[in-house]
Amino acid sequence: MSPWGWIRNVYQLRQDDILRMAGTDALVLLEFVRLMSISLFVIAVPSCLVLVPVDVTYTDPSKEASKTGTGSSQQGINHKDKLLSATIGHVDGPRLWAHVTLSYFATLVVLGCIYYSYRKIIGLRQNYFGSVEYQNSYFSRTLMLTDIAPDIVTDSALRGALESTHSSYKFCEVQLGMSMNNLPDLLAQHKQVVLHLERALDKALRKNLQYRPMAVLHKRWYHCGGVKVDAIEHYSRELETIERQIISARSDAEMTLPETFGFTSLANTSYAHAAARYFSKFKPKDFSVRLAPRPSDIIWSNLTMGYKERQKSRWFARFLLVLLFLLNTIPMLLAALVSNLQAFSTLSDFIYRWKDSISFATVTGIVPPLISFAAALLLPRIMRKIIIYRGVRTKQTRDLLLTRQYFVFLVLTQFVLFSLISVFLELALLIKSSIQKKQSADDAITDIITGVLAAVTHRFEQLSSYWMTWIVLRGYLLLFELAQIQRLLFLLINRYFLPHTPRDIWEFKKPQLFSYWMVYADLLLLSAIGLIYAPLAPIVTAFAAGVFALAYFVYKNQLYYVSVTKSETGGRLWSVVVKCLLTLLACMQIILALIVGLLQNWIKTIVCIPPILFVVAFGLYCQFKMEPQFRWYIPTSMTSDAMKKFVRQSEHQRLERQFGNPYLHQPLSRPIINAQYMQMVKQVYQGPVVSSKCTADDLAPKGPILPIYETASVKSLGMDDVDLKYDLPRTSSEEAFEMDLFPSTEDAGDTDLPNSFSDPGETKPVQWQGLSPSAPATFEKSADHGALQATNSSDSTPLSLQPRQGLAPPSSEPAKSVSISSESLLEENSEYNVIQEYAYEPSTDSLSTRSTKARGYRPLPNLPI
């Protein structure tokens, strides 16, 4: 195969291939790139063929006479910037209306392409909603309730509030969220201590235990001073203490306080979407309703925020955004200063002598784009951190806000502010001139407004060469992204110059996560430049069309071969991107109307208003006609008939298992040790470790992650079986991956596997309490559920709650009933030495109010998290 054969393979990839391998989000992004590439190409061809000759051949009659009088002295000035002759800046009279006519054409082309792509995206999104994976996912028929009134403190009260809304769709189960006190902080501390211990063990094992790393405690001013202790011993003791506190917190018998969020399940996906659509129009008084995302897509720390805390956090986030905007103006001012060096030629003899040289053109043309690109490297990461303070509850909402926010930020800083910096200087000069001439207030204001508007239009025309350089550099960055230069340098430095642990290598091997919101914002900025300059400087639009064509090829390769989607949303960002694109179309017409008013008169700007009205009308059509088809699932009659199946009476267990607080069943991290040091590590650390050769499939539980028992929930609703969907049982690995308990080695993204088609008649699985493989055990029948329970003959305490590897017993009273599948116990001599962990087993005593007795837990294998 030729070295360039991969180009043909990428080119021949079809949409079905992208959809199968990368998902709907990837296909929607490629559709947007394709939309802009076609639109700008169709606009650029007639614009360059018509407008460029019109602009280049235009000669101002008033300037023609002055040229004949001055002779050759003006020749150098006339050819100072040949690109300006291909812009609208030197055109007046009847030729100006050619630009207005092409703006009508550009508006109709973009609106037509958006309509065609919107219809296509709606079909893709409906197919996503109707897919087997989505239909069989439990979250697809679950609603998330937020901002619940303080007087609703039980599940029954929440059900009553839901039923009081007189919704046409009955709710299968309802669950009110409960707080976890300090458990999230304990798990975060545990993860950090594991990382420190892991690095200390790796340093010691690499030097055959001849070196013992030290840890510095009680550091003083600027991390100076402190006491040095043995790192392995210190972190081992700290890890045991935190694990003891976690076990105690998870076994706490005290009543947990109700939170302001909850979940409710419906019979099938179409009912859930219809109910969410109903509640989006009818706003209940005591709570807000939206479709539930994947459990792993929820930002639980923000979900538990109260109203006042959320408002305070939002104001703090706004303050950080304003501060970031002010700080980001510093590199923009520097870039604008370099690009406007010619304006200082009258103040500096050096700049006056240098301005006609090639080096001056090189510096003013290339350095400003490089400064703007360098300033934008850290901007997305900082904004991603700030957006968490907005109190967003899901990652999907976070991405929606980030797309709009980052796009507006880029347009304001890199386009508007950069373009208008010199206008502020012109404004100051106009005010000074008016004061010196002692003009009246009316005349001064009129001259200042006219001068500022003229400076704005002239500045946009002058920057056409800058934006062409910026677009070319953007194309080079796409080529660097295709070649993976940045990642190769990162891996090279970490591989040969920095220490790394097996966990680091595992992280390096994971596929890269594709940041859709960042790519959309960058492409929208490129779209803004291409569209706004279409009637002003058509060559800029042609450059932008070429970069979009290159981007389509690059992103097709990246999405198919390199990157993965973290959490599939079915192309949810599309509607936000379309709104931003329509805003750019309106801005194009406003800037053109401003130029027409300055060059002709303000009455003639009326001809630029109809395209703006077209854009507004099309935006309203998209909002009220196409947006509902995009957001909600609309099943066909055949699909509705196929969904009329039975629901087994296990909804409460399933709801609490899926959307219960993850801190109850999140496995604890364990140090990952290189496989060749597994025997040596026992000499310095007696705790549980994980081999570097361990995979997710090796450690995933084989039995049910939590048992399912019969409940009376469905019977209490008085619902007919034919109106409900059958709730298929799931294997433990499917439950674990759906709740994002175990990371997948094949896909770094969130996974939600479909239901497995097992025997529906098994409603009471046999349960086994976790035992040490060497411990003698007897089996007794459980009085509660009739399942076999294993107990240790030497101790009445369930061994799954007995500490192992030197852990002291928890102070609180452990639960009496713990269950585990016998297949999930690892062999005693296995290479994978993994501690048993605890998963939350929900109580089944009552449906209206949850019991306050001690929760039951069962051991689970662990993976590195």
Q: 778 forms bridges with which residues in the sheet?
A: 791
3-state SS assignment for residue 260: strand
Q: Are strands 788-792 and 777-781 parallel, antiparallel or unpaired?
A: antiparallel
List all residues 6 or more positions away from 384 whose beta carbon is below 8 Å from its beta carbon.
402
- Count of C-beta atoms within a 10 Å radius of residue 623: 13
Write down the pLDDT at residue 88.
75
3-state SS assignment for residue 263: strand
Contact 806, 686 (CB under 8 A): yes
Please give the C-alpha separations between residue 523 and each of 372, 411, 474, 520, in angstroms, as whole numbers. Answer: 16, 11, 10, 5
Which string of DSSP letters, residue by residue, matches 800-836?
TTS--TTPPPPSSPPPS---B-GGGPPPTT-S-----
Write down the pLDDT at residue 725.
36
Structural tokens at position 415: 């386009």
CA–CA dist 25, 582 (Å, integer):
21
Which amino acid is it at 479?
L
Q: What are phi and psi of 125, to 5 degrees?
A: -70, -40
Q: 858 forms bridges with which residues in the sheet?
A: 839
Write down the pLDDT at residue 355.
76
CA 630 remoteness from chain centre: 20
CA–CA dist 18, 382 (Å, integer):
31
Burial of 350 (0-12, 13-18, 19+ CB in 10 A): exposed
List all residues 6 or more positions away from 620 whose beta carbon is below 8 Å from its beta carbon.
none
CA–CA dist 795, 270 (Å, integer):
52
Which amino acid is it at 160?
G
Residues (pLDDT < 50) of the chain are 64-80, 253-254, 644-650, 701-865
Half-sphere exposure of 211 (CA within 13 A, CB side): 11
CA–CA dist 748, 48 (Å, integer):
46
CA–CA dist 461, 89 (Å, integer):
6
Contact 142, 163 (CB under 8 A): no
Half-sphere exposure of 431 (CA within 13 A, CB side): 6
Contact 584, 513 (CB under 8 A): no
Write down the pLDDT at residue 656.
61
Q: 178 forms bridges with which residues in the sheet?
A: 258
Q: Of 484, 566, 518, which is closest to residue 748 (Cα–Cα)?
A: 566
CA–CA dist 851, 855 (Å, integer):
9
Percent helix, strand, coil in the chain (nearest 5)? 60, 5, 35
List all residues 6 or more positions away from 1 whose beta carbon is below 8 Å from its beta carbon.
none
Structural tokens at position 433: 């001139």
For 727-741, how does the pLDDT look when each residue is reduced to its tens digit (9 = 90+)? 333 443 444 444 444
Write down the pLDDT at residue 221.
61
Please give the span between the terminal C-alpha atoms of the chain, in angstroms, as a whole number: 40
Within 668-784, strands assigned E span 672-673, 690-691, 777-781
Structural tokens at position 343: 């304006």
pLDDT over 90 percentage in the chain: 24
- The H-or-E segment that residue 180 falls in is none
- The H-or-E segment that residue 285 falls in is none
Q: Name the strands in the sheet holding 173-178, side by side, starting at the edge strand that comes first in the sequence.
A: 173-178, 258-265, 142-146, 288-291
CA–CA dist 210, 73 (Å, integer):
82
Contact 634, 652 (CB under 8 A): no
Q: 690 forms bridges with which residues in the sheet?
A: 672
CA–CA dist 750, 711 (Å, integer):
30
Write down the pLDDT at residue 257.
77
Structural tokens at position 649: 């009476």
3-state SS assignment for residue 258: strand
Structural tokens at position 196: 């420190």
Q: Indicate left, alpha or beta for 330 from its phi (over 0: left) and psi (-120 to 50: alpha).
A: alpha
For 676-719, how does the pLDDT look when each residue is reduced to its tens digit (9 = 90+)? 888 888 888 888 888 888 766 555 544 444 433 333 333 333 33
Q: Are strands 563-564 and 214-217 parallel, antiparallel or unpaired?
A: unpaired
- Count of C-beta atoms within a 10 Å radius of residue 49: 10
List all residues 6 or more positions away from 7 whose beta carbon is below 8 Å from its beta carbon.
none
Write down the pLDDT at residue 69.
44
- Measured at the alpha carbon of residue 766, what is the angle toward residues 765 and 770, in degrees to the nearest 5? 120
Structural tokens at position 576: 């936000």
Q: Of 169, 154, 9, 1, which is closest to residue 557 (Cα–Cα)?
A: 9
